[in-house]
Structure 1
Amino acid sequence: MTEPPVVALHGVSFAYEDGPDVLDGLDFAVREGRALALLGRNGTGKTTLMRLLSGGLRPRAGRLTVEGEPVSYNRDGLTRLRTTVQLVVQDPDDQLFAASVAQDVSFGPLNLGLSDPEVRARVAEALAALDITALADRPTHLLSYGQRKRTAIAGAVAMRPRVLILDEPTAGLDPDGQERLLTTLDGLRAGGTTVVMATHDVDLALRWADDAALLTPAGVHTGPAATMLARTELLTQAGLRLPWGIAATGMLRAQGLLDETQSGPRTPEELAALTPRLATDG
């Protein structure tokens, strides 16, 4: 029997006060262990979808489930949800408020009513996971942008969620900061955390994600990243361009340099590594 998704929306509709529906009859599931990229043009409801998944918004119609069980929007139900799903918003300054890094990261576990030793253990674990242990006592207002991003994510990780949802986590980071963050996310995934990333970067999605969800005015379309990001009609509807790796793969296959059984390059480094072999094969 197929296991139910960790968290899912079923026939969900939502509208902000006095506004039109942002989402209408949406079905969306997060499967455990799959890195999922959520993509779509501004205004199609990505942020709304993420807030519905994390309990920050309540659907007008439809339901949210955790492991197949409907979520109750009372204290116990929301506590269970927030120990399963954590959302980190795009701007870390919207999430950080405590005087120091360790104090900020400890906020969630303290609200769970955990013992002081357990809170300290979770804070230490989260700081280590985000490689910011040395910043524990640093005032949050003295952090760089990248450090603030990591601190915000650490606060979510300290809740030990099964699903971590990140809204544009690489936005505003320089290339080195992006690479360090992706390495951190790989470590979290290896530790059992399912990661959902909202992004406009189709090249990043192709490189990083197992699955891609394209949010269009007609609904959401989910499948293997390489397959979904090659569907030009859906990309157009979602306001996205073709990833360069998909374009390069098409060109290589058209020239007979890559057959259908071979995976195409997802990064410039993979293309560079592939070139000598193609030259030899040719």
Structure 2
Amino acid sequence: MTDDAVVELRGASFAYEYGPTVLRDLDFAVRPGRALALLGRNGSGKTTLMRLLSGGLRPRTGQLVLESVPVTYDRAGLTRLRTTVQLVLQDPDDQLFAASVAQDVSFGPLNLGLPDSEVTDRVTQALAALGISELAERPTHLLSYGQRKRAAIAGAVALRPRLLILDEPTAGLDPEGQERLLDTLAGLQADGTTVVMATHDVDLALRWADDVALLTPAGPHVGPAADTLSRADLLDQAGLRPAWGIAATRLLRAQRLLEQDAPGPRTAAELDAHAGHVRGEEATR
């Protein structure tokens, strides 16, 4: 039990009709202000977990708790949940349906019954947060894939959730698009939104996340990103390869080029900066 969790599953189990149990007796909490990456092989339960946290699925046993209050699955309870927790699917075409970007982003706030002026403000702010203000009147079917991704996220952001859950948000984006999206997420986090990201990319998880949850057959293992992704046994259980940053850190420490308690590089730029620092130290000897 976690008193400060934004949302929490307690003793939750779930099985699809005519299928095996996907998650069993699961305790899982999302803490505010922590960037959390969900990692695991296909079929490990990532999508099921995200849908349980956002109310798209209901646990067969156990309960979902939102800000210390159990969720009820009536209209009032789900409205309360979905104004606090928003899930953005991997394929933006599963969420975009309106004629224009602004119309699509306004759908959620309108459904809350907000005044028109408030809806307009939320749409304007969400488009600005995602860097797509100039696309407000663009037909959604004329957007690029990256633009559609950002428009789908803007629709969730317009509801001003405390928790934003993203399913493979960088999938299909080129490197520049990935960088722009990560910059956007940093801005949302700075404004108080907690972000959970499902990904297969261990390098991205090491770079971006504060904590990671490795979904293994024995259940999720949650811990600080660098420490957890250093566990070869857990990575093997989760069907994941090691992160290159972890391997680079081990090599640097073995060569005594990095102090044992110093954080290792998470990106190529950080590794290059560290190499430059080492070269500078050698030049002054």
What corresponds to 2:213 in structure 1? 213
Q: Which amino acid aligns with 1:208?
A: W
| Letter matched to residue 156 of structure 2 | A
Q: State the identity as a percent.
A: 75
Question: Mind listing any 5+ residue stretches in structure 1 that lack a counterpart?
Answer: none
Alignment check: 8 A CA contact 2:47 2:167 kept: yes
Aligned match of 1:187:
187
Q: What secondary structure sits across from 1:166 in the alignment? A: strand
- The equivalent of 2:114 in structure 1 is 114
Distance 1:146 1:257 in 2: 39
Runs of 4+ in 1 over 4 A off after TM superposition: none
Mark the runs of 5 or more structure 2 residues left unpaired by the alignment. Answer: none
> How do 1:53-68 and structure 2 match up within 5 A?
53-68=53-68
State the one-letter code of the partner of 2:61. A
Q: Please state whether the residue corresponding to 2:38 is helix, strand or coil.
A: strand
Q: Number of residue pairs matched?
A: 281
TM-score normalised according to structure 2 size: 0.97
Cα deviations by residue, 1:141-193 (Å, 9 ceiling, x for unpaired):
00000000000000000000000000000000000000000000000000100
Q: What is the TM-score when the length of structure 1 is the normalising length? A: 0.98
Moved more, 269-278 or 140-149: 269-278
Aligned to 2:97: 97
Partner Cα distance (1:68, 1:234) in 2:
30
Q: Is 1:134 equivalent to 2:165 in the alignment?
A: no
- The alpha-carbon deviation at position 200 of structure 1 amounts to 0.4
Distance 1:21 1:205 in 2: 27
Q: Does residue 10 of structure 2 align to residue 10 of structure 1? A: yes
Alpha-carbon distance between aligned partners in 2 of 1:3 and 1:117, rounded to the nearest angstrom:
36
Name the SS for the 1:97 alignment partner. coil
Counterpart of 1:157 in structure 2 is 157
- Describe the superposition over 1:28-71 as per-residue Cα deviations: whole angstroms up to 9, x where unpaired: 11000000011000001000000000000000001000111100
Tell me the SS of whatever aligns to 2:5: coil
Q: Structure 2: how far apart are the matches of 1:9 and 1:148?
A: 31
Distance in 1 (alpha carbons) for counterparts of 2:5 and 2:144: 37
